Structure 1
Amino acid sequence: MRERRRHGGGDVRCGPPPRKKVPKSPRWSRAVVATAVSGAVALFALGFTFYVKWSLETSVLTFHPSPLIYPPNSSSPAVTPQLFWGSYRPQVYFGMKTRSPRSVVTGLMWITQSQFPALRHTCEQSDGLARYGWLLHDGVNFGIQEIRDKGYTLTTEFVKRPGGLHGGDWSWRFRVTPQASAPAGQLVSLLFYVATDGQGTLQPHLDQKGRLSHVTGTSEELGKFTMRFPKPEGGGGHVSYNHLSTACPGLHVLTDVVQRSLRDSFVHPVSVGDSAGRRQYLGLDTYRPPPSPPGAASHPSNSQLVIHQVTFQVPFQVEVLFESDSFLQRPGPLSGNALSELLQSHRGRMEERFRSIFKLETKGFTPEQVAFAQAALSNMLGGMGHFYGSSLVQSQHNAEPVPYPAAPLFTAVPSRSFFPRGFLWDEGFHLLLIARWDASLAWQSLGHWLDLMNADGWIPREQILGQEARSKVPDEFVVQRNENANPPTLFLALRQLLSKETISPEELAFLRRAFPRLNTWYTWFNVTQAGSLPNTFRWRGRDKDPLRFLNPKTLTSGLDDYPRASHPSDDERHVDLFCWMALASKVMADISEILGEDGTRYSESRRTMTDNVLLDRLHWSETLSAYSDYGNHTQSAVLEWEKPQPLPGQDPRGLPPPRLIRRVKKPPKLQFVGSFGYVSLFPFLLQILSPDSPRLGRLLDQLHDADKVWTPYGLRSLSKSSPLYMKHNTEHDGPYWRGPIWINMNYLAVRALHGYAHLEGPYRERAASLYRELRENLLTNLYREYKDTGFLWEQYNDKTGQGQGTFPFTGWSSLIVLIMAEEY
């Protein structure tokens, strides 16, 4: 009990003092507080909304957070001097540059001074050259190319000599010789140029006769340099000279600048037999820019261009020398005998190395066939380019396309004339051959591609970097969308690079740097390309126009118009993508083991996806007796002409023209797609099938069926019995992967047959027999077509074996070298 105290006259209970009375807040102040709180919440919500929107819009542009495999200085002359200069401009007939963001570029143009003179510069199929391409190119030190124009042959040679701090020196030699059937007195002009790309300086120097003798220059990565033009040899004793020094709007318009600078007001002395005379020719004069559109703002040209033109009568020879000012102990000019000796030395080393790696002579090939293989390899290596720039990309969160962060790319290109840029799924095949020749080049390309990955794990599948590359691409193909994949063929290259017995410390370090990116890429495929059922996969990015296409294309699969489900839907599952992911799982499990990382995720996926019971359940079609895609499909779709009918009283002349549209005569349903071809063979092509699987036996039977995919020239892409065999997809969209023979798929088929022929199983002898026959068919046809046409081709006709499509196609068609060497 609390103690009571007596205070005055009465008792007072102990306890807390009485509370003071607090006046009540007015109602208006509570309203202000409530308004302020609600306003703050609204502002926060608005800000958060904007942040989420901004985050979604910029996620496609956010590079992967792991350190770059190849940092920006990795291509500098201080780090890789031997690779700094190269023929890294595959889009032109002859040109060199450095592996720099804004390189000084050098190159060749030429003109046949005939009745209809034509300027040659960028590789164009429309030029009608009988042949052009590298005869020898080792990828690093030198290259020898032959170009057959109308009436004469132009041979281009280059060789590099290391020294100094900026990549050393190089020299060119050009020989122009008449062909047997050519008329006498041919007049040809060679135009050698050097141009800056927005930085650096060039200064032309003239001799006493006004001839351009040399150009001095500077740039960020080259320092000071000199490009010399020694006097040529031959030409009937007469040489005419022209030159031009001007500002240039950009490297993508070099040809236009030269064309707008040529005048036919010059004359050259000629002699034919005992007669002599003078002949008019096109020569460089003054650049006259095209008129600007009314009201257009003028933009100053920030690039310089200097061109040296020499005009001769065939035959003749000329050299061009580049000398780095930091090369202080130069033994003498790289010209004349010194140039010949260095070229011969590199040539001998390449031929010896080629013999030791591919051993074609021991397999019975003739010297002419060996030269064909050397040319195929050389064109792959000579088709490697260095590009720098930004892709144009778009996600579902971007209202308009946006530029991807600028980055470099060192890659081989499929075709110098038609596809002179990087393609993701092509490069995996390219690297199979490049890695066999020079693994360091393959690792470099592989690292550059992986460094283009964004934070989500997406790599733009077509790399259109820089103005020169952009100028060669139709607008409809420029924008890359981040939901679209491409076959992860880089895992093919990785599997080959890792197949040797030991991994070097440099390669191990590469794998450690690459592993976070490979993991993210693998995850991206499993998330964005997943099907509606577990362990199924579906290519995103199929065409969605229900009227235009007989069968909507799937460009993202790499197989373009190969028949898929007639009506794209979320229920589709694609057997080729399933097999690509099985391969990816295996390679990721192997890399994890090499690095000592936890690879449980990949090993489990590998076990699941190589389970042939699962594969059969998801993709085996008893009706087709083969593996197949599954989806919402009907075979009863045709293209028919729709002719608009005029309304009563309407003038029929105002109607739109008839159009070819798709008519569906029987509704689609969920089922297997009834087309036999490359997609049906994927479990065999990537060797997912067990060697004792009865499905393998049935596929081998169909493989050798002439009514299906077998031909005397290789495996056709689609069975003759398929409803879409050689069918147009639109009025102007002819068959592409609907019958023609493609060498990348045939390489996989030959490789798989070779593999199954060396594994115990009931089909071993059958696989060995088919291997020998298919290999011989491919070798015979490609060599014959090369001799007849001078080119490797994009595809081959399944009825005649003739090359067709793009030429020269020295990307994956060059895999014929590995088939010859039996290197799988």
Structure 2
Amino acid sequence: MGKPRKRNLAADGESHSQKEKKPPILVQKEKKKGKTDISKILINISIGMCIFSLVWFFYALYMRSALARRAVTLHPSPRVLDANSTTAAVSPERFWGSYRPQVYFGMKTRSPRSVVTGLMWMSQFSPSGINVRHTCEQGDRLRSYGWLMHDGINFGMQQIQDTDFTLTTTFVKRVGGDHGGDWTWRIVGKQHSLASHAPVVSLMFYVAADTQGSLHAHIEDRTRLSHVTGNSKELGDFKITFGKPISGEASANKYASYNYLKTLSPSLDQLTNIVKNSLSHRFVFSSSTSERRPYFAVDTYTPPPQKDNQIQSDFVVHQVTIQVPFQIEVLFESGSFHDRPNQLKGSVLTEELTRLMVSYNERFEKKFRLEAKGFTPAQVGFGKAALSNMLGGMGYFFGQSVVQSNFHEHPIFYPEATLFTAVPSRSFFPRGFLWDEGFHQLLISKWDLHVTHEAVAHWLDLMNVEGWIPREQILGDEALSKVPSEFVVQHTENANPPTFFLVLEELLEQFDAHPDAPQLRDILPFLRRLYPRLQTWFEWYNTTQAGPLPNSYRWRGRDKDTNRFLNPKTLTSGLDDYPRASHPSVDERHVDLHCWMVLVSRTMTHLARLLGEQHEEYGRTYKALSSNSLLSELHWSEQLSAFCDYGNHTPAVSLQPEKVFVPPEQRQYQLPVKRLVRVVRKAPKLQYVNALGYVSLFPFLLHILTPDSQKLEHVLKDVRDPARLWTPYGLRSLSRSDPMYMKRNTEHDAPYWRGSIWININYLALRALHHYSSIEGPYQLKAAELYQELRANVINNIYKQYDESGYIWEQYSDSTGRGQGSHPFTGWSALIVLIMAEEY
């Protein structure tokens, strides 16, 4: 009995023990289940994070791609100008023109792929060898060249003074038919009075297609090209006839030697090289008054093998070798001009030219009244030349800009575009510049408001969806061939002064004063088409160029190499090497940009109100930015008593030879060339950049200072102080007392905006003095006095330099008044006409 009990007890004990152990087992399972759930949650979170990361990654890629596309996506609003606005059907009187400012003499149409015509020439028997003149080059060292008269539409007369002879090139147009009508050139050559003998000159007239159209040469007497016939999409059928040379009006034909070249050209920028490479010395010139002498002439040229997708175009050259004096005419006749009354040549051409010149002279005096103001005939002729060179410097370009954005690894092409614009200099800057063009149109608008409408519209039609406009327009092979590679790429974060608002503000003021004037009847529809783009442009400036403080602004695009430059340049401001903060940073505040934004907001307020659009926000912006107290708070330096930039700056900098360490074991080899590098003697700190010059004047230049502002008194004192800005020739760009005055920026970069006199800013200064002299205030009489004195100084010096040198110049020496820089510079320097006319 006992044993079973024990067994039972034992069994019971075992059973109880097992029962006691079961709960822990269940708890363990629950823990494992809890761990499993947490693991699943973590896995799900990880998967979710991965999915989110992938979605975010692809979204970021998409957004980057979208933002990259926006950089080269044009503004969505309707174009200001219809794409057909420059065609012969819509604008026949302006279809042909001297729209090739980069060559001494040439014409084309306002179409993207125009047939182009032009003139090259060279002196024969020259001790200096072959000297083909074609594209405007300062290295040609011509005594002078430029338009004496040009009305922008119908005719132009230019004088070119070479070493020992003068060429006068004239064109006259006649509208008719469906393709822009006819035109005729007259080239007159005369010997200089000091030349020892009558020079022999070769004139090379050419016609070139630009990837479309065909040309056919017609030869007579084996070597003389009598005429060229051709056909193109824009011109239909046409004929160009080369007249035989004569000694003068109504005289008999004159002896000449003839040569021609018919070949192919890969692009228009290669025309000069093709002619040079085709020259041969095997021909003989033998007139009755000279001995037989071999001369250079176009002979044969074999174009290089055609590359993939390359289109080679017809190119025909007619060479006439002749002794001065001479006169030659070239006629272009449109095949669609069926009711032509007579040929535009000989006495018919002379009569038409005389009529156009009389009309031009009368119109010039009516517009500018220089004779009535007491200017001499020579000074009036100078004024006509300045205006004519501005009009003769209008170009029509087609091509693509190269741009770089923050969302592109490499530069890319901007959309193809056309641009009708004036150029600053035919020799050095034969292309469009955004801030220059606003100054150009201040003058052109006084002569022909239609041209201004077209130029402004072409520029605004280049705007991308963000509101950015490439500031330098390098369109087409010819334009690209004249630009150093480092300036080709345009950066989408970089601005340029919005000078078009100077033109728009003036148009608005004219409309307010004379709303019924015939010349202003199209102004409202034009401004309404511009308005959406101007809105976007304003917003782009207001956001991308914002400064570190509310209502402050900072130019983007400063040079970042603080070791190479004495003062890193700010090309985007238009004032290049003008002294800014020595160490570029995001803390900078630029007073000139602030003032430009006052002008922009002021004009947008006026424009929006006129068009019946919402103007309150623009008005609030203008009220805030134009506050003289805000301007003083952001930019007034008590130390200098002038408006200044603010930034991370030290004036204790200089250029010194770079210290190069060469190990002893390498000293037997050639030592590296030492560069000039910047040495900073005192660490920079956030402070006002105490540079007194053009930037300091902007609150005055753009009429932001109130007439009773004490700051205006300081400005007028600085303007008249010879130790600071005043010179007998105009206002210098930087005070003589400034440490940067006339200092080189690198060993290769001469001073540019560091003392020299610039006419665009002197025009703004005279405009401002005229403004303050007409408004009641404590400084009214002082402004009037300075106005008269400064105006006389600027006019007298520019005319004197033109009379002595034959050129209007890019800038003028503040110590001697002599012209310097590129020439001819009949971009904003031609504003001298408005200064003479007192048109502000």
Q: TM-score, normalised by structure 2?
A: 0.92
Alignment of 1:57-76 (within 5 A): 57-76=68-87
Aligned match of 2:283? 266
Give the deviation of 1:658 after TM superposition: 1.0
Q: Distance in 2 between matches of 1:71 and 1:299?
A: 30
Give the deviation of 1:342 after TM superposition: 1.1
Q: Distance in 2 between matches of 1:613 and 1:42?
A: 50
Given the superposition, is the C-alpha separation of residues 496 and 34 from structure 1 closer, same or farther in structure 2, using an over 3 Å criterion? closer
Show CA shifts across 1:17-69 (max 9, x none): xxxxxxxxxxxxxxx99999999877755543432232122111000000100
- Secondary structure (helix, strand or coil) at the match of 2:696 reads helix
Alignment of 1:603-614 (within 5 A): 603-614=619-630
Kept in 2: contact 1:757–1:768 (CA 8 A)? yes
Given the superposition, is the C-alpha separation of residues 40 and 790 from structure 1 closer, same or farther in structure 2, using an over 3 Å criterion? same
Aligned match of 1:161? 174
Give structure 1 stretches of 5+ with no counterpart.
1-31
Q: Is 1:253–2:270 an aligned residue pair?
A: yes
Q: Is 1:229–2:242 an aligned residue pair?
A: yes
Aligned match of 2:298? 284
Kept in 2: contact 1:93–1:123 (CA 8 A)? yes
Among residues 139, 147, 150, which one is paired with 1:134 in the alignment? Answer: 147
Q: Distance in 1 between matches of 2:153 and 2:103?
A: 18
Amino acid at match of 1:417: S
Aligned match of 1:369? 379
Kept in 2: contact 1:65–1:455 (CA 8 A)? yes
Alignment of 1:554-593 (within 5 A): 554-593=570-609
Give the deviation of 1:648 after TM superposition: 3.9
Q: How many residues align?
A: 789
Aligned match of 2:721? 705
Q: Distance in 1 between matches of 2:435 and 2:474?
A: 15
Aligned match of 1:111? 122
Q: Is 1:398–2:415 an aligned residue pair?
A: no
Give the deviation of 1:182 after TM superposition: 1.1
Given the superposition, is the C-alpha separation of residues 297 and 211 from structure 1 closer, same or farther in structure 2, using an over 3 Å criterion? closer
Given the superposition, is the C-alpha separation of residues 204 and 35 from structure 1 closer, same or farther in structure 2, using an over 3 Å criterion? farther
Aligned match of 2:35? none
Q: Is 1:679–2:695 an aligned residue pair?
A: yes
Amino acid at match of 2:80: I
Aligned match of 1:177? 190
Alignment of 1:186-205 (within 5 A): 186-205=199-218
Show CA shifts across 1:315-336 (max 9, x none): 1110000011110100111100
Q: Distance in 2 between matches of 1:357 and 1:372?
A: 15
Aligned match of 1:524? 540
Kept in 2: contact 1:439–1:497 (CA 8 A)? no
Kept in 1: contact 2:256–2:287 (CA 8 A)? no
Q: Distance in 1 between matches of 2:167 and 2:69?
A: 50
Q: Is 1:458–2:475 an aligned residue pair?
A: no
Kept in 2: contact 1:686–1:748 (CA 8 A)? yes
- Secondary structure (helix, strand or coil) at the match of 2:185 reads strand
Aligned match of 1:615? 631
Give the deviation of 1:643 after TM superposition: 3.0
Among residues 352, 372, 376, which one is paired with 2:362 in the alignment? Answer: 352
Q: Distance in 1 between matches of 2:688 and 2:44?
A: 65
Given the superposition, is the C-alpha separation of residues 674 and 284 from structure 1 closer, same or farther in structure 2, using an over 3 Å criterion? same
Show CA shifts across 1:736-791 (max 9, x none): 00000000000000110011000000000000000000000001100000000000
Kept in 2: contact 1:196–1:303 (CA 8 A)? yes
Q: Distance in 2 between matches of 1:210 and 1:537?
A: 66
Given the superposition, is the C-alpha separation of residues 238 and 52 from structure 1 closer, same or farther in structure 2, using an over 3 Å criterion? same
Alignment of 1:466-481 (within 5 A): 466-481=476-491
Aligned match of 2:332? 322
Q: TM-score, normalised by structure 1?
A: 0.93
Given the superposition, is the C-alpha separation of residues 583 and 42 from structure 1 closer, same or farther in structure 2, using an over 3 Å criterion? closer
Given the superposition, is the C-alpha separation of residues 579 and 41 from structure 1 closer, same or farther in structure 2, using an over 3 Å criterion? closer
Amino acid at match of 1:241: Y
Alignment of 1:409-808 (within 5 A): 409-500=419-510, 501-502=514-515, 504-651=520-667, 653-808=669-824
Amino acid at match of 2:116: V
Give structure 2 stretches of 5+ with no counterpart.
1-42
Aligned match of 2:388? 378
Give the deviation of 1:512 after TM superposition: 1.0
Aligned match of 2:101? 90
Q: Distance in 1 between matches of 2:489 and 2:222?
A: 52
Q: Distance in 1 between matches of 2:48 and 2:558?
A: 49
Q: Which has the larger radius of gyration?
A: 2
Given the superposition, is the C-alpha separation of residues 303 and 707 from structure 1 closer, same or farther in structure 2, using an over 3 Å criterion? same
Give the deviation of 1:506 after TM superposition: 2.2
Among residues 81, 100, 105, which one is paired with 2:92 in the alignment? Answer: 81
Given the superposition, is the C-alpha separation of residues 701 and 331 from structure 1 closer, same or farther in structure 2, using an over 3 Å criterion? same
Give the deviation of 1:198 after TM superposition: 0.3
Given the superposition, is the C-alpha separation of residues 33 and 637 from structure 1 closer, same or farther in structure 2, using an over 3 Å criterion? closer
Show CA shifts across 1:680-715 (max 9, x none): 111011110001101101110111000001000000
Kept in 1: contact 2:223–2:259 (CA 8 A)? no
Q: Distance in 2 between matches of 1:357 and 1:229?
A: 37
Aligned match of 2:828? 812
Give the deviation of 1:220 after TM superposition: 1.1
Q: Distance in 2 between matches of 1:499 and 1:419?
A: 32
Q: Distance in 2 between matches of 1:485 and 1:560?
A: 13
Quick one: percent identity of the two aligned structures? 58
